[in-house]
Structures are given as structure tokens and as C-alpha cells.
Structure 1
Amino acid sequence: MTTKRRQTPKGILGFPVAPMDDEGKLDLEGLGKNIEFLVENGLSSVFVACGAGEMHAISNEEYRSMVEVAVEKTKGKVPLYTGVGGNITHALEQAAISEELGAEGYLILPPYLIDPSQDGLYNYLSTIIQSTDLNAIVYQRDNCILELKTLQELCELPQLVGYKDGVGNMENNVEFTQVIGDRLDWINGMPLAEVTMAAYVNLGFTSYSSAISNYIPHISAKYYEALLNGDREVVHAIYKGVIFPIHRIRKQKKGYAVSLIKAGMQIVGLPITTNVRGPIAPVEDGHYKELKLIIENALEKYPAQIKAELV
């Protein structure tokens, strides 16, 4: 075991997608461009092959290729985390790959299919956490819902550095942050997290994963800066003109938390198709047009410093 920096990245966290070509094969060049765009636009870190990266739909061979690209594009620039989870055998393989290739840590996604008991969840998470010396973040969502006692027991493991919430149970979040305090770093992982960050920041959540940062990262940054500085006028304007309109489209269909990101990236001119792997469905034409109009209006009001031509 080596001595590691036991903390998570702060601020806005970048979650690249898994670009697919017209035949549905992984487009590693597109992934590289996605990561470069995030780094150039000031995202504090990169989390590759997580939910937005369709971890559920890629093989571990593809996973290795994605991590290799991410290591190359982030090295010496920002911390790199990976996603691990699902089938525990696959998760342990992913953790080993992440350690071998030099990631700083990983986000543990929920177990596959099973709705586990608390001791079952502890066994799943602790096995993965202890399998390497990398930093680990647990993800509260779907069939990985932790009670306080379970999270406290996991806090005895030094590799555990963070808790990401994708459920939105604020009673639990208040209790967790008050009881556990700064033992963990707290991350808002709600779908389109800008919608809820105004509530989370007062609980001590210092970071969030931003879907819209894949295509309008400067607006996410402007929103978060205004939120932290108490500039309610700017926060309100971005909520009204950008965040809520995109969120309303995202809620139209399950899976849009992933496929709508790819649509937005294509709209701003990044070399990404809108192809996704099942069971996620691509964005419908009408919703694509709505999103394009929102982005056009947003970029007119808040021009990007790093230009991308609309297509």
C-alpha cells in the first residue's frame, strides 16, 4: 500500500460519454475530443466510463480502451476517476484495470439486478473498496441505498473518500453530513445536478457532476460561480433560460440523462454521433430541435470562450 492523497476533486466534475460510430462501435477518437474539451474548459476532473459513459453497455475490453484514452488526455492536468460496478466480478476487474493504468480513484455504481440488504451492500462495496489502494466514492442511487450505520461502517476503510448522492432524500443528506461531517467529500449526483445544487451547497456538498458541461461548460461554471457568490439574479436567469428548459426535455423519456448529452454535444459541433446502446433510446427529432433552440439562445446570451460551431 502506498500513501495517497485521500480526497476527491472539488467543483464541477466532468463525465464524458462513450461515443459510438454509425455501426455502434466505440469511437475512441471522439472520446479523446470529449475529454480534451472538458479539460480545456476548466472542469476539475474527469470521470470516465461511468453512467454517462454507458458503463452498463461496454465490455471490459472496451473499458480498458476508454481508460487508456482518458489517462493519456488527463495526465498531469486533472485527476482521473473511473466508474466500476454492476456485476461484482466485472467491477473488481475494472478496479484492477483502473489501478494498473494509473487512475486516482473510482466511483462505485450500484450492483447489478439484486435489491440487496444493508449487510449485502456493505459486502459489495467494501470488497470493491478494499481491492485496490485507489480512492473510492460510493454512489447512492437505484438499488444502492445506504443507511447511516452502513455508511459509517464503510468510513472505517481509508480508501473511501466520497459520497455521491443521486437520490435526493434531503432528510438523509442532512443527517449524513451532520453525523459524518468532513470524513467524506460530498458530491451532488442528481440528474442535471444544476437543478438541485442550490439546495445541496448549503449542506456542505462541494462538488457536482455536470451533464451540460459536455456541451456548454462555461454556462455551468457561470451558474456555479454565481451560486457560490450569492448572485441570485444570474442564478435565476440561468435557471430560467437554460437549466429548467433542458431539464424539462430530459424528463420526457427515461435514458435521456445519457442520450440528451450526446445530442447537445453534436449540436455544438463536437465530433459525436447521437448513437447509444440499448436499452437507452436516442433523442427524438422533436426534442433534438427543442434542445438546439435552447442551446442557440443560451450561446447568444452567454458566448463561449472556446468556440464550437453549431451544426
Structure 2
Amino acid sequence: MNKIRKAPKGILGFPVAPFTTSNKLDEQALAQNIQFLLDGGLEAIFVACAAAEYPSLSKEEYEAMVEVAVSVTAGKVPVYTGVGGNIQTSLELARISAEKGADGYLILPPYLVTGEQAGLSAYFKAIAESTDLNSIVYQRDNVAFSLSTLEALAEVPQVVGVKDGLGNMELNGLLTQTFGKRFGWLNGMPLAEVTMSAYVPLGFDSYSSAISNYIPHISRKFYNGILSGDQETVNEIYQQVIMPINNIRRQRKGYAVSLIKAGMEIMGMPVGQTVRLPILPVEKEHYAEMQTILENALDRFPKETPILSI
């Protein structure tokens, strides 16, 4: 049976790594986080990635997170893991992902050392070809793909998607026009709802949603509005929810992670605000602002309750 070689489309869930007050991975809270995302209708689960503080995880914690994700999703949606950074560690985590039953992995850039395009191409290619799992390559920080790099990766069947975290729209236009449907195109900008309206016309049909960890119904309403051309709804959510949250996120480095946990705690999710260094918890004043934003968001966009037939 041939493996389906395509990237997931739609809104992608990136669960956090819940830690106890003693700084241990809380597997039960992780399972609840993933189930919440599934209940919210997200199209894929990306576990042990940047939102889950990937660089801080031990090998044992990584294995546990993948096991929980595969178990909870039970084949309902694809499970992708995060690999990247150190090449040897990446190859080991790719192997673990395959052994634990994941469907693919998101290959994060190598950090600290910036390689030439030929070196970057070989880096992504080596990880992608190390297993039969699907791979999505991620350009952000010190990595921007050239045409030659993606041409080389296009020859690797395992590479099914390209995720962008740079926000260089000229480059994105060039890449999507050149490679079209050969790759799935994923918006990986911080708080991707901010930019999704600009990404969709280029062919990007999925994005990672941080706010889906606590208000997935609003993210869905927003994305449906973009796809259907309901600009009034898009503008209202953008102005009343997306931008206010983004304004807080921009206040401190690391808020791309810790603000997710703050939002989850405000919404009653059992995750707490414990984060690992160098990330710091959300400051009290920003936490209070976030609480006000979410209260207003739920007033304006309440979660619809299914009507049960009698």
C-alpha cells in the first residue's frame, strides 16, 4: 500500500508541553490539550515542536509526547513531530518518530551555524530520507530557501510541504509560483492568523494556530471567513481578537510560547504557566490584558452549542 504523500491542509494544532510545578512533563494534561484540539476540528497535530519548547525536551520526554499524541489521535488526523537543530539528534528523533507511529515530522532549521544553500539542502534531505515518514521543511530565522534548494528537495518523495516563518512575501510568491502544487504550503508565522489573509492568495492552504489551544472556534470562524470572502467577519475578529493578542505577544521574547499557556490557563485548561528557561512566564499586567481580551472575544464570538433533537 502506497503512503499518501501530501501535507495536511487547514488549521494545524500545536499542543504545548505542560509541565508540573516540579518541572516534569504532565502527560495527562498533554492528552487533554490534544483532545481539545481534536474536538475543535483541527486537521493535524504537530507535537514536540516549537510551541512545545522542543529544544528543552529530554529524549524521554520527547518519546512520551509522541506516544501520547499517537494514542490520543488514534488515526483521526495525522501526527507530525518536530525534529531539527543538531543533525545527529534530528536523525535520532526522526527514527523515534517512525518507531512510535507518527505520520511525519516538521524539520526545523539548524541553529547557530548558518550553512550555504547546498549545506542546508543536504541537511533537510538527510533528515527527510532517513525514514519513510512525510517531511515538511521549515524556513525561518537563519534559513531562507533558494530555488535550487527546493529543486533538490522536490526530488525527495518524503518532502511534502514547505512551512514559512520568515514573512518574505516576495520570496513566497517566487517559491509558490515556481513549485505550485508539488508542495503543500504552510503559514508558520508567529500568530499566523495575523498574516493568513495575505498568504491564501499565494496558495498557502494551512497554518499553525497558537490560539486554537484555547479558542479554536474563533480561529475556525476567522479562517472560514477568509476562504468564503466574508471580510466583515474577518475584520471584526482581526480587530477585536487577533491584533490585541498579537500586541501582547510582541511585548516580550518568548511570549510566542508562554502566552499560549497563559491563554489556556485563563480558559480553564489544565496546563499552568510553567515554562522552561530561557522562556519566562507572562507578566501579571499582560496576563490581565489577555484575560480581558478573551472575555471580550467570548462575548462577541461565543462558542456555538449543538442543537440536540428531542
* Distance (whole Å) between structure 2 residues aligned to residue 55 and residue 234 of structure 1: 35
SS of alignment partner, residue 95 of structure 1: helix
Whether 1:282 aligns to 2:281 is yes
Whether 1:166 aligns to 2:180 is no
Find the counterpart in structure 2 of residue 127 from structure 1. Answer: 126
Q: Following superposition of structure 1 onto structure 2, how do residues 133-212 of structure 1 map, counting pairs within 5 Å?
A: 133-212=132-211
Whether 1:41 aligns to 2:40 is yes
Whether 1:294 aligns to 2:279 is no
Paired residues, number: 306
SS of alignment partner, residue 17 of structure 2: coil
Q: Following superposition of structure 1 onto structure 2, how do residues 254-265 of structure 1 map, counting pairs within 5 Å?
A: 254-265=253-264
Whether 1:108 aligns to 2:119 is no
Q: Which amino acid aligns with 1:121?
A: L
* Distance (whole Å) between structure 1 residues aligned to residue 15 and residue 277 of structure 2: 18
Per the normalisation by structure 1, the TM-score is: 0.97
SS of alignment partner, residue 276 of structure 2: coil
Q: Which amino acid aligns with 1:82?
A: T
Q: Which amino acid aligns with 2:159?
A: L
Q: Which amino acid aligns with 2:98?
A: E
Q: Which amino acid aligns with 1:189?
A: G
1:305: Cα distance to partner? 4.0
Q: Which amino acid aligns with 2:303?
A: A
Alpha-carbon displacement from aligned partner over 1:73-108 (angstroms, at most 9, x marks no partner): 011211111110111111111100111111110000
SS of alignment partner, residue 17 of structure 1: coil
Q: Following superposition of structure 1 onto structure 2, how do residues 237-248 of structure 1 map, counting pairs within 5 Å?
A: 237-248=236-247
1:306: Cα distance to partner? 7.2
SS of alignment partner, residue 128 of structure 1: helix
SS of alignment partner, residue 52 of structure 1: helix
Moved over 3 A (4+): none
* Distance (whole Å) between structure 2 residues aligned to residue 25 and residue 306 of structure 1: 35
Find the counterpart in structure 2 of residue 30 from structure 1. Answer: 29
SS of alignment partner, residue 239 of structure 1: helix
SS of alignment partner, residue 153 of structure 1: helix
SS of alignment partner, residue 51 of structure 2: coil
Per the normalisation by structure 2, the TM-score is: 0.97
Whether 1:75 aligns to 2:74 is yes
Alpha-carbon displacement from aligned partner over 1:256-279 (angstroms, at most 9, x marks no partner): 000000000000000011011011
Q: Which amino acid aligns with 1:106?
A: Y
Distance 1:78 1:147, change over 3 A: same
* Distance (whole Å) between structure 1 residues aligned to residue 116 and residue 32 of structure 2: 41
1:59: Cα distance to partner? 1.1
Listed as ranges, the gaps of 5+ residues in structure 2 are none
* Distance (whole Å) between structure 2 residues aligned to residue 266 and residue 178 of structure 1: 42
Contact 1:26 1:62 in 2 (8 A): yes
Distance 1:15 1:306, change over 3 A: farther
Find the counterpart in structure 2 of residue 272 from structure 1. Answer: 271
* Distance (whole Å) between structure 2 residues aligned to residue 6 and residue 20 of structure 1: 34
* Distance (whole Å) between structure 2 residues aligned to residue 121 and residue 160 of structure 1: 14
Q: Which amino acid aligns with 1:264?
A: G
Q: Which amino acid aligns with 2:187?
A: N
% identical equivalent positions: 60
1:293: Cα distance to partner? 0.4
SS of alignment partner, residue 251 of structure 2: coil
Listed as ranges, the gaps of 5+ residues in structure 1 are none
Contact 1:60 1:90 in 2 (8 A): no
1:25: Cα distance to partner? 1.2
Whether 1:227 aligns to 2:201 is no
Q: Which amino acid aligns with 2:194?
A: V
SS of alignment partner, residue 209 of structure 1: strand
Q: Which amino acid aligns with 1:216?
A: I
